[in-house]
Copies of this chain bind each other. A is one copy, B any other.
């Protein structure tokens, strides 16, 4: 009851002169915002603890606060920003402890991807994985860690797909994204790129051999090492 009247009056109750023209085109304004902000958090352009002022972001992206808020809420759901009631949003601060925990879960999920991939992947899919692995070759000498990082990420994403479990793939990709800045950092550790490449080789072999146990074990170790290396890195600072 007491229906809120939308007042569909067609007569001019507003002066259109002051109305800014809506920039239509994209279905959703908050989508590109979300991606841009996420990218900046992930690449550390926005450092952990940095305040995310809604008005400021709105001006920067030339939109109103509404889509900004929606993007921030989504980022908070993803764990990338922390929303403090009435006190604004900040880039989430992840403690080393939390990070270790996340790598631990990641190791389990990737191991399971490997197990399923060994069980279910087709010959063609395996060739795809092998190709992704071989694409890493030229950048595995440690001269171009950024390029290796990118190719490495692709390799893992293909692996996820080979699990033939879309939900698992989604979850693990999400976590991969959240851990991205730390993984990237960790790749700069001496010799890590070379070892990583070798580990991939063993993983591919196990999957192509259909050896579930070995595939899972190699992957678990592969990810756990990243967590450990990262913690070494932290300790050395």
Q: Footprint of B on A, CB under 8 Å?
A: 3-4, 27-28, 55, 59, 69-70, 73-74, 77-78, 85-86, 98, 101-102, 104-105, 108-109, 112, 165-168, 171
Contacts and interface: CB of A to CB of B under 8 A. Distances in A.
Contact of A85 (B28, B74, B104): B28
A70 B27 CA distance: 18
A203 B223 CA distance: 27
A161 to B, nearest CB: 13
A92 B210 CA distance: 35
What's the number of copies of this chain in the assembled complex? 2
Given A27-B85, A69-B70, A108-B112, A165 B101 contact: yes
A166 B98 contact: yes
Given A27-B86, A59-B4, A86-B27, A104 B74 contact: no
27 contacts: A3-B59, A27-B85, A27-B86, A28-B85, A69-B70, A70-B70, A70-B73, A73-B74, A73-B77, A74-B77, A77-B78, A98-B166, A98-B167, A101-B165, A101-B166, A101-B168, A102-B167, A104-B167, A104-B168, A105-B112, A105-B165, A105-B167, A105-B168, A105-B171, A108-B108, A108-B109, A108-B112
